[in-house]
């Protein structure tokens, strides 16, 4: 244990409060959690209130001197800033502070890099990291000479400039390679998704802030309805434990199955390059019929976390998808007197399109699946169609978009009893059979 502590980097956190964030203190606390997730030890925090960010140094010149002295006093090895720094800001700060400087984006990229397990996740993280590095190459080779001639040819440039351009070309080439590999993996995922669409089984996606309990809900539903431990996903009390999208078929009976997807969690100031890199993975969210917005209701900042999640969903083009709010960890929620806000005997609490539950101890799972199936299948109806044999396209469409109960071949055509959506019923109403 002592050896692990000795291996941890000692870091100084630095943040600027411009008044734009609803809760700057919570943002700094989250930065500390991110640092700890990177096996770092937070030894100090420096903050400053400013109307606007210093374009050259991010913080004020006086605060730079204060941070430099403070870092020496607490023996900090790295300065971590609570925002994305521009290439010039990072270069200037490293020179002024005389120590390595990283920003929030770099920190999140490090976490993603250490958590990635599948080939797709590793490719996505490496793509995002290289895209982040590309504009920050300037200044990384200050130790090399930069004597250049009058012409713009590479042969007349100094060692530093040549090294810089070579590195840039290597990175651009590698990004191009990674994008091709990701396209291949993405096409495989698209094929799998098309198979799920063809089955006409509704799709549900778990979304929410990181560490809200999405994977726990997935695993408890696997326990309840699949009963196969090999179908479980990684479940751990840590930031970004899950980076890969996992899809499981949940069959609650009564011919009301649905696909459930567990997705990567969101976070405040999630790097844009990461969102772009993980866009193919997050297609499961965009294609969902229903979203389960999982919220850690025991977290004092859960309302801000909800806002971040909804903003990210809008950015992904998934803001209009129907949603159920799943207030998880309700058993840990305390009132102002420090007492349990939701005693065990009152959980779960179901109210219209929301549920207060505790996936950790199994409270509310059946009620949750009841909400899901009610929402997914409420508008569906069981209909009987007679499809002439020369209308194969109609039959194919109904089979693809409905849940077949029975299928019989008669002299007049295919007699199909199917649970279908209102859209299919209206579209093919001329083929409906009169029940009388």
Residue 231 has pLDDT above 50, yes or no: yes
* Local structure of residue 331 (DSSP, 8 states): G
Phi, psi of 75 (to 5 degrees): 60, 45
| pLDDT confidence of residue 37 | 86
Average pLDDT, the chain: 85
Q: Which residues fall within 8 angstroms of residue 21, CB to CB, at 6 or more apart?
A: 27
For range 370-388, the mean pLDDT? 90
Q: Which residues fall within 8 angstroms of residue 254, CB to CB, at 6 or more apart?
A: 373
Q: What is the pLDDT of residues 77-90, one digit of tens each?
A: 999 999 999 989 99
- Higher pLDDT residue, 66 or 234? 66
Q: What is the pLDDT of residues 233-275, one digit of tens each?
A: 888 777 777 777 888 999 988 768 899 999 888 888 887 777 7
Candidate from 234-238, 317-321, 349-353 with smallest mean pLDDT: 234-238
| pLDDT confidence of residue 2 | 46
For range 386-402, the mean pLDDT? 89
Residue 140 has pLDDT above 50, yes or no: no
Q: What is the pLDDT of residues 423-433, one digit of tens each?
A: 788 889 999 99
Q: What is the pLDDT of residues 5-20, one digit of tens each?
A: 457 899 999 999 998 8
| pLDDT confidence of residue 134 | 86
Candidate from 2-6, 178-182, 414-418 with smallest mean pLDDT: 2-6
Read off the pTM: 0.76
Cα 354 to the chain's mean position, in Å? 21
Burial of 279 (0-12, 13-18, 19+ CB in 10 A): middle
Q: What is the pLDDT of residues 26-62, one digit of tens each?
A: 899 999 999 998 889 999 999 999 999 999 999 999 9
């Amino acid at each position: 244990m002592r050896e692990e502590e000795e291996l941890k980097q000692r870091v100084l956190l630095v943040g600027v409060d411009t008044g734009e964030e609803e809760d700057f203190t919570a943002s700094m606390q989250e930065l500390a959690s991110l640092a700890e997730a990177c096996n770092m030890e937070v030894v100090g925090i420096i903050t400053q209130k400013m109307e606007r960010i210093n374009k050259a140094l991010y913080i004020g010149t006086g605060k730079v001197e204060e941070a430099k002295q403070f870092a020496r006093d607490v023996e900090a090895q790295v300065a971590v800033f609570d925002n994305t720094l521009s290439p010039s800001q990072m270069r200037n700060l490293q020179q002024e502070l005389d120590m390595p400087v990283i920003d929030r984006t770099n920190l999140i990229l490090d976490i993603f890099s250490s958590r990635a397990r599948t080939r797709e996740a590793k490719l996505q993280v490496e793509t995002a990291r290289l895209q982040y590095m590309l504009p920050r190459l300037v200044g990384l080779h200050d130790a090399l000479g930069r004597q250049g001639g009058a012409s713009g040819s590479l042969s007349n440039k100094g060692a530093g400039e040549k090294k810089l351009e070579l590195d840039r070309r290597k990175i651009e080439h590698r990004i191009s390679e990674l994008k091709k590999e990701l396209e291949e993996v993405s096409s495989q995922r698209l094929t799998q998704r098309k198979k799920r669409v063809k089955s006409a089984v509704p799709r549900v996606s778990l979304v929410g802030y990181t560490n809200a309990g999405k994977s726990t809900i997935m695993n408890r539903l696997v326990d309840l309805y699949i009963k196969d431990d090999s179908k479980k996903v990684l479940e751990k009390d840590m930031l970004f434990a899950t980076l890969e999208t996992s899809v499981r078929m949940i069959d609650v009976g009564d011919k009301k199955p649905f696909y459930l997807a567990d997705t990567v969690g969101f976070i405040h100031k999630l790097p844009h390059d990461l969102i772009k890199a993980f866009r193919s993975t997050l297609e499961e969210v965009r294609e969902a019929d229903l979203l389960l917005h999982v919220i850690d209701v025991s977290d004092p900042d859960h309302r801000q976390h909800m806002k971040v999640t909804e903003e990210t969903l809008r950015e992904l083009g998934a803001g209009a998808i129907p949603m159920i709010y799943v207030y998880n960890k309700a058993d840990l929620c305390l009132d102002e007197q420090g007492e349990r806000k939701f005693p065990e005997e009152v959980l779960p609490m179901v109210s219209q399109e929301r549920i207060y539950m505790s996936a950790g101890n199994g409270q509310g799972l059946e009620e949750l699946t009841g909400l899901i199936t009610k929402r997914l299948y409420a508008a569906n109806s069981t209909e009987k169609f007679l499809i002439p044999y020369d209308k194969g396209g109609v039959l194919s469409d109904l089979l693809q978009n409905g849940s077949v109960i029975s299928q019989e071949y008669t002299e007049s055509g295919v007699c199909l009893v199917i649970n279908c959506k209102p859209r299919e019923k209206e579209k093919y109403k001329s083929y409906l059979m009169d029940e009388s």
